[in-house]
Amino acid sequence: MNDKKININDRKRQLLNKAILLLLLINISIFAAHAQQDPQFSQNRFNQLTINPGFAGSSGLINFSLLNRYQWVGFPGAPVTIVFNADASAHIIGKNDGIGLSVVNDVIGFEKNVSFGLNYSWRTKVGNGILGSGVSLGLMNKNLDMSDINRWSDFDNFNLTDPGLPQGKASGVLADLGAGFYYQCKNFELSLSARHLNQPTLLFEETGRYSLRRHYYMSGSYTVQMADERFEVLPSFFFKTETTTWQADFNMTVQYDKRIWGGIGYRVKDAIIITFGTELWNGIKFGYSYDISTSSLSRYNAGSHEFFLAYSVLLNKKRTHKYRSVRFL
């Protein structure tokens, strides 16, 4: 009986190490620029500024948001991402300008990336809606710690090395450019954007090389008013690609009184997404999502958690007002 338990435990350890090896290989492929390099999110409706500078100032409010994602919980070396966004309407060039700041801290395996982005958008009336056209200028600080790349395995003979990767610790800074368009009218929103337009390359010593590939994004949503006007249904989609691989999310959200929402989504060949959120009090919103993995990694993790917190205020010349039921959320 004891021998059987030992064999089962060894089998589990072997499976876990295969999963760890898969994660490390994914990480190396990202380093070689053959896969998507940007972090993954589930509450993309609340995270537009991170990927699209055209969104800046679109609400006419001053907005602050914080998003924290724990991907593949229980999986050693799995991604953990924190995002801080702030944006507001401005009057730099025109009356309907918008400015924004986006800061992303992304840790996956032996990588830690910290990105800072300044966003500017100018907004014009197009048809029955407003089109925001934006540009972003940012920096990414990439840190690699290859000194203990095999630390996630408890097998003595588990060893993973790659001559194309720097040995020990290395870091560098990349300049990053982006652009995007964000169109909104009464019941419809459409977002188109591109990140890493300049596709910067970072060299580590003599062998290490990291290139940011250009990423393209498209998302949209439509608001369907129900017979009971307190209820709205919001079907939405999110798509991204760097021309080699792609990701697509399809979501259906029900919103009550513009204060409480919940929904379900599906990320193709990856996860089922459950979300809910509420306005806690004037100007403050909280959201949560849970991803149920459906890919080959599902046996090695307990899903993904994502938390979202936002605060919005309306600032006029005389005083600051708390703003209730932020429409763009």
Rounded Cα distance, 108 and 78, in Å: 6
Averaging pLDDT over each range in 17-21, 164-168, 210-214, 324-328, which range is the top one?
210-214
In a domain, 307, yes or no: yes
In a domain, 327, yes or no: no
pLDDT recorded at residue 320: 44
Quick check: helix, strand or coil at residue 20?
A: helix
Q: Quick: pLDDT tens for 99-109.
A: 999 999 999 88
CB neighbour class for 110 (10 Å; exposed up to 12, middle 13-18, buried from 19): buried
Number of domains present in the structure of the chain: 1
Model confidence band, residue 189 (pLDDT cutoffs 50, 70, 90):
very high
Which CATH number belongs to the domain containing residue 278 in this structure?
Answer: 2.40.160.40
pLDDT recorded at residue 322: 47
Model confidence band, residue 3 (pLDDT cutoffs 50, 70, 90):
low
Q: List all residues 6 or more positions away from 302 whose beta carbon is below 8 Å from its beta carbon.
A: 73, 74
The two three-digit tokens of residue 262, written as one number: 């919940």
Q: What percent of the chain has pLDDT over 70?
A: 76
Domain that holds residue 234: 2-322
Q: Is 212 left (phi over 0), alpha (psi -120 to 50) or beta?
A: beta
Q: List all residues 6 or more positions away from 216 whose beta carbon is below 8 Å from its beta carbon.
A: 193, 194, 240, 241, 242, 243
pLDDT recorded at residue 76: 80
Q: Quick: pLDDT tens for 146-176.
A: 666 555 555 455 455 555 555 667 788 999 9
pLDDT recorded at residue 30: 45
Q: Which residue has the higher pLDDT, 72 or 323?
A: 72
pLDDT recorded at residue 165: 57
pLDDT recorded at residue 296: 83
In a domain, 329, yes or no: no
In a domain, 59, yes or no: yes
Which residue in 234, 242, 262 sits closest to 327, CA to CA?
234
In a domain, 181, yes or no: yes
User: Can you tell me the mean pLDDT for 118-144?
Assistant: 94
